[in-house]
Amino acid sequence: MAATVVRVTEPSALAAFWNDCRELMPHLPEALPEAWAFGATPAHADSLLALVLDGAKTGTASSLWDYEPSGEPLPQEGELSIILDGAGIPRALIETTKIRIVPFDQVDADHARAEGEGDRTLAYWRAVHERYWREHSENPRGFEPDMPVVCERFRLLAPEPGTAR
């Protein structure tokens, strides 16, 4: 679940993080990737980031409908993202490895497990994500059982400044 409620607190910290990543992985492009946080609140951002840093979270999901009001482009395979913590500090670099758009009621157990949350079951995933989109959707349609969901897989490239994988 990606959101934009958390903003970068120090643009210089973002640039420094990116420079550290590029020093360790010279093949990275010069252009600074988008920086964002998971979840809808700073606490949610921190808890989901912890799952990424622990290696439990290698997937995320977003409502296709939520891209309409924001005008943001859909994530793309090969795209890099800097992940922020709840305070807006850059903490991880990820690379999107796979994108699938499926109806909510067709998201599978494999994707639910990749999201790393709760007991990692499909039942847990469905309950948490339905509640999330009912409460935080940017689109007036909110949640529907057949709503299109952008299922994204990613890999962690750099878990902290100076510690690229």
Query: Domain count of the chain?
Result: 1
Distance CA 44, CA 85 (A): 9
pLDDT tens digit string along 86-116?
Answer: 999 999 999 999 999 999 999 999 999 999 9
The verdict on residue 13 lying in a domain is: yes
What's the CATH number where 121 sits?
Answer: 3.10.400.10
* Residue 148 is assigned to a structural domain of this protein: yes
15 occurs within a structural domain: yes
The residue among 88, 75, 87 whose CA lies nearest residue 35 is: 88
Of the candidates 2, 140, 158, 23, which has an alpha carbon nearest to the alpha carbon of residue 80? 158
Each residue's pLDDT tens digit, 42-100 = 999 999 999 999 999 999 999 999 998 778 899 999 999 999 999 999 999 999 999 99
In a domain? residue 102: yes
The strand pairing partners of 92, in sequence order, are: 83
Q: For residues 145 and 21, give the distance between their C-alpha atoms in angstroms, rounded to a whole number.
A: 40
165, part of any domain: no
The pTM is what?
0.89
Token pair listed for 5: 């409620």
Question: Does residue 164 belong to any structural domain of this protein?
Answer: no
Q: Could you tell me the residue range of the domain that residue 61 belongs to?
A: 2-158
